[in-house]
Every structure is written in C-alpha cells, then in structure tokens.
Amino acid sequence: MQEIIQKDNNTVFIGQKEPMTYVMAVVTQFNSSNNSVVIKARGKAISKAVDVAEIVRHRFINGLTVTNIKIDTEEVQREEGTMKISAIEITLTKE
C-alpha cells in the first residue's frame, strides 16, 4: 500500500485510490499551516493528479496558485526489465 502523504516535505503521492481521497489529503496539508503542497504522480495517475489539483483550487481552497509544474521520465525496474514512466509534480501555493 502506497503512502498518500510524506509529512517531511508536504508531498501527496497520487495512486489508485479515488480522487477525493487525495483532495482531502491536500486540504489537510493546507489546514496544517502549510503554505505549499506538492502533488506527485506517475504514469496513468498523472491525469488524476491534475484533477486533484484543480478540484482543490476551484472547490475547496480559494487563493491557491500553481507555482510550479515539473514533468520528467523515471526509470522503473520491472520483471520485464527497465521501463521508462512519465512523472509529474504540481506545486500548489497559498497566495
């Protein structure tokens, strides 16, 4: 089971759960006096990460801006060998 929140740097990792699970994790981070939260995802979860960021910005917390979007390719070891998987990091910041 993948952790949703890495508390040491305010990062929410997107996986296979429902988007609202991650939305609530991001909102919780902002309610814990954090001014910035990073949403990270790989592969098929990238579109869910974008959905989570937009739901938080438009429905839950007014005044958030996307201050950084980083895209990358990560190499992951699988049984079939090394695979390259797309990854994204979206940074939301309170104004």
CATH number of the domain that residue 36 is part of: 3.30.110.20
pTM over 0.75: yes
DSSP collapsed to 3 states, the chain = CCCCEECCCCEEECCCCCHHHHHHHHHHHHHCCCCEEEEEEEHHHHHHHHHHHHHHHHHHCCCEEEEEEEEEEEEEEECCEEEEEEEEEEEEEEC
> What is the model's pLDDT at position 65?
96
At 34 the pLDDT is: 87
Summarised one tens digit per residue, pLDDT across range 1-13 is: 345 655 557 999 9
The residue range of the domain holding 15 is 5-94
Task: Write out pLDDT tens, residues 12-53.
Answer: 999 999 999 999 999 999 998 889 999 999 999 999 999 999
* Total count of domains within the chain: 1
